Structure 1
């Protein structure tokens, strides 16, 4: 756990510390963000509530390109909580050229419905953009990482231990392309392979409504090759949200 905390602190500080030296490389500064929100509420014979929020921020400064991501999901059915997930990520990319870069990533997830109180992963490695045009981007990232999980009380009692730690091989594949002038398709794959294989796939289509406001349809699949007892290996999430870019 000490290894994880130390490495996470370094990774979290790196993008901010780099800003001071980046001014000597270039004078351009770019900031962009997408705020996403969706909700479903039904009353009467069926009472359900579903909320989805996401804030994705990107900051370019000299040779550094940084991303800060926050996600929240909450579901309730007839007064009973049926889903809850919180996710945060920070990543710093140092660009050697227009297509080659080194990355450092730290993320933390809280999802009690998987049997874990929380999961933290740090990783670093090399990234390459195989396609980088105005309309299409295809990038791949690979590198080593370290993962720390804390089981909830019930799962810990059944398993006989309360934490899991492992080194992982971290990989990302990100493909984005414009379908039309007002719509975009995105496919993201993220995988961590250590004592088990954990992966996430997000497929989405975004269509502009007016100005900076857009509608987003997404299908997210999460996979764990070795889930805890009484847990399924695959979770799926389908949502329709409003997205505002600024």
Structure 2
């Protein structure tokens, strides 16, 4: 083994890496041709007191080859852990939803977080509180783009119902001067094999101010297969 390859192997061993891939699809044909695809990917890397996460969450729907919905939500974060219960997190998110009335919305924030319920074996709960900025680009003719400060609060709860099933609840609120956005993800995972699970998820997004003719609340329910490696 050369010195270069030995160094690369040692460097890789210093990292704790994990990946999740999630996919669900529904296709119909006959009187109506429908295509609905839901996908999600997440990559985690941990080294010493630092942890990094990148995720992509997408949905695409078409009817008779005409696009009805398309969304891609990407999030990247870096977290420094002071100790097992306290941390600080930098986060950047980009929401590209062609049918929301906005071309895109991007936010960046810095938050303090804490892990609680650590003494309960089958449950965990963490929260973050912080501030940042959000940039909104409008797709409507004559509408202005705008940038606003935000206060961001989030909670992440998980409950191991049994050895093979778990419940997940993630909530977040980004309150701004022009508009506030609330997100909720409720999910139940059931293990099928060691690295393969089935997941039922309900996602809700509510925005207080939206372009004329758009709904303030979007709800999405999905059943997907989740692969971990």
TM-score between both structures, scaled by the size of structure 1: 0.85
Q: Does 1:156 align with 2:141?
A: yes
Who is 2:55 aligned against?
69
Over 4 Å off, 4+ runs: none
Structure 1: segments with no counterpart, 5+ residues: 1-22
Aligned with 1:181: secondary structure? coil
Match of 1:227 in 2: 210
RMSD: 1.4
Residues 111-122 of structure 1: matches in 2 within 5 Å? 111-122=97-108
2:45 corresponds to which residue?
Answer: 59
Cα deviation, residue 46, structure 1: 1.6
Using the TM superposition, give the Cα deviation of residue 201 of structure 1 relative to its aligned residue in structure 2, in angstroms: 0.2
Specify the alignment match of 1:49 in structure 2.
35
Establish whether residue 89 from structure 1 lines up as the match of residue 75 from structure 2: yes
Q: Aligned to 1:113, what secondary structure does the other structure show?
A: coil
Distance 2:168 2:93 in 1: 21
CA distance in 1, matches of 2:62, 2:216: 22
Cα deviation, residue 134, structure 1: 5.1
Unaligned runs of 5+ in 2: 1-10
SS at match of 2:141: helix
Structure having the larger proportion of residues in helix:
1
Match of 1:145 in 2: 132
SS in 1 for 2:83: coil
Aligned to 1:230, the other structure's residue is in SS state: coil
Partner of 2:219: 236
Deviations 1:129-180 (A, max 9, x none): 112355321000010010001111xx132x3x2x121000011111011111
